[in-house]
């Protein structure tokens, strides 16, 4: 998980990562991440490179999001 956190920090620093963190769902904790990518294949390349995915112990589901309201 340390390498996972380092990877996400790298995404934040290079500008492709927007926000990452755990979601404390009573049914089970999971992580949520928001990334900025040109298309789904770019997003998939970013998530496939995550050490938890490479190690076969984690996975991502990718859903497009249209930003309608953001803070300044």
Q: For residue 35, with 0-12 CB atoms within 10 Å meaning exposed, 13-18 middle and 19 or more buried, which class applies?
A: buried
Mean pLDDT for all residues in the chain: 95
Q: Tokens in use for 60?
A: 């991502």
Q: Classify residue 27: in a domain, yes or no.
A: yes
Q: What gap in Å lies between CA 2 and CA 50, rounded to an integer? A: 11
71 lies in a domain?
Answer: no
Q: At 3, phi and psi to the nearest 5?
A: -65, -35
Please indicate, yes or no, if residue 62 is contained in any of the structural domains: no
pLDDT exceeds 90 at position 67:
no
Q: 67 lies in a domain?
A: no
CA dist 3 to 8, 27, 53, Å? Answer: 9, 26, 11
Q: For residue range 14-44, what is the model confidence (pLDDT) as tens digits? A: 999 999 999 999 999 999 999 999 999 999 9
Domain range for 45 is 2-54
> How many structural domains compose the chain?
1
């Amino acid at each position: 998980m340390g390498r996972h956190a380092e990877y996400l920090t790298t995404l934040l620093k290079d500008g492709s990562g927007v926000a990452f963190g755990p979601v404390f769902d009573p049914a089970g904790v999971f992580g949520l991440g928001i990334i900025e990518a040109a298309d789904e294949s770019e997003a998939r390349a970013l998530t496939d490179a995550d050490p938890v995915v490479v190690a076969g112990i984690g996975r991502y589901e990718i859903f497009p999001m249209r930003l309608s309201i953001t803070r300044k």
